[in-house]
Chain A
Amino acid sequence: MSGECKTDSRLEKLLRSGKFAVTGECGPPRGADPEVIRKKCALLKDKADAFNITDNQTSVVRMSSISSAVIMMQQGLEPVMQMVCRDRNRIAIQSDILGGAALGIKNMLCLSGDHQKFGDHPQAKNVFDLDSIQLIQTVRRMRDEGKFLGGEEIKGVPRLFIGAAENPFADPFEIRVPRLAKKVAAGVEFIQTQCIFNLKKFGEWMKGVVDRGLHEKVFILGGVTPFKSFGMARYMAKNVPGMDVPDELLQRMKDTPKEQQADEGIKIAVETIQQLKEMPGISGVHIMAIEWEEKVGEIAEKAGLLPRPTV
């Protein structure tokens, strides 16, 4: 992969210099209080290289991704601005890309977005003017060709390091490597995967990725989420579409006494990271400890990922 950076992103610098990267996640609050983000930032600081700011995750209204990212930067952390296609057409998308870049955001994650049915406004009209692959093309074009989708020239291009998500566990499995290839062809530079619980299946997917040489064209960060409890593990297994939690793991959580389940969840996450570190083609991990931000540091520490390198 080219070592030459296209942006001032720290995450990009680390990845291009061959370091094993760690990203985390921070969900904005359901209100206008910036303190909530500041508190999360205090827990997350120095525990990972960059932190995703979710964009109305699961279609529940929250503080905007851009503004939360700005608050995060004021605390000295590097955000990855998530952007979904559900809520904006191409005019708003390009406008927000310019705005985000102008405010100093350096990383962006292109997503289709959960259907609004899952959220608190199922009555909403959805947009999906673009899909995630076309969103990748859009940012690439804005950054590298200096052009809007409409063809006009951009004065002051947005210099964003471009990421996307991929879910190796969704169906049909046979197109999950080709789908990554499509994202690569669209111009994606880093990928954060869906939470990995089924390491065997993930390994199969990664083999397909490596066989096609895709790991040499895109940095792949494996997604890791710690279970807080057996209840959460069961919920994820049964109710979250596209999530693959093997029975052995469920059993392991179930067999653990309630008071120790949180620790067991963290242990599983650490073991997963250790296996991912050994896997060919993996450039880092993405730790998603949803509303459990205080544990990101502990997981990273136990997995031997701290202190984070400086670049």
Chain B
Amino acid sequence: MVVGERKPFEEIMKMLEGHKKVMVLGCGGCVTVCLTGGQDAVRVLSSQIRMARDKDGNPIEIIEKTVERQCDPEYVDQVQEIVPDVDAVLSMACGAGVQFMAERYTKTPLYPALNTTFVGGSVKEGYYVERCQTCGECKLAYTGGICPIARCSKSLLNGPCGGSTKGKCEIDPNVDCGWQLILDRLRDLDQMDRYEQILEIADWRTSRDGGPRKMIREDFQR
């Protein structure tokens, strides 16, 4: 899933300066799963904002709403009656959701309440970790199912570097060395011989470096 983290409250308050009526819009997708942008998060943030503005003697009216997904025009359309009625929308979706909203509602300022952080998963409740950098050319078959691009701090395709120490990465003793994980897996799979194959220089065109990406299912286009 896409993981997001809520922005600092002060930053959010700054974005809302001068606005009297806003919609705080949650998303029922990934950010609900990672507990940062769903219905509950909308409720908590909205009351925090109201309280802070009341305290300043500058009250704000907030409409709370959550749609199924903000990265889908069909659901984004569902707030078309509300948007013209507010000064701004504070979206609690990931960066994709915020942009789908901004593209659909061109006359209303759209603000992100989250910092979209990574593609990953939860190892336990409330604990999320990065697993994928969406490079567009999956190499997991060659590296024991552990991604060198996402999990090595230098994205080395032929690691580990000389800083790997006791299973940890040189950048921080709390970060696992991605290459140690790869090697542990290869050993378990009895595939250590793979280590000596040099992984070729990557073609980053499939990654963000090739410009904004699209995925089109031709069979669905008419």
Contact = CB atoms under 8 A, between A and B. Distances in A.
A134 B162 contact: no
Contact of A112 (B156, B195, B196): B156
A61 interface: no
B168 to A, nearest CB: 8
A182 B200 CA distance: 12
B154 A128 contact: yes
Contact of A133 (B162, B180, B198): B198
A285 B204 CA distance: 38
Given A128-B154, A178-B195, A170 B183 contact: no
A128 B157 CA distance: 10
A175 interface: yes
Given A167-B162, A171-B164, A241-B163, A131 B171 contact: no
B165 A170 contact: yes
Interface size class of A (residues with CB under 8 A): 35 or more
A36 interface: no
Contacts of A250: none
Most chain B Cβ neighbours within 10 Å, of A128, A131, A132: A131
Given A171-B177, A175-B183, A178-B195, A131 B165 contact: no
Interface residues of B, number: 28
B5 interface: no
Contact of A171 (B157, B180, B195): B180
Interface in B138-188: 153-167, 170-172, 177, 180, 183
B162 A131 contact: no
Nearest to B184: A172
Contact of A134 (B157, B167, B204): B157
A171 B196 contact: no
A298 B62 CA distance: 75
B208 to A, nearest CB: 12
B201 interface: yes
B165 A242 contact: yes
A74 interface: no
Given A133-B158, A170-B161, A171-B165, A182 B171 contact: no
Interface of B: 153-167, 170-172, 177, 180, 183, 195-196, 198, 200-202, 204
In the A-B complex, the 4 residue pairs with the smallest Cβ-Cβ separation, listed nearest first, are A167-B162, A241-B170, A241-B163, A133-B158
Interface of A: 85-86, 90, 112-115, 117-118, 126, 128-134, 137-138, 149, 165-167, 170-172, 175, 178-179, 181-182, 185-186, 194, 241-242
13 contacts: A112-B156, A115-B153, A115-B163, A117-B153, A129-B202, A132-B156, A134-B158, A134-B200, A137-B198, A165-B162, A166-B162, A170-B162, A178-B196
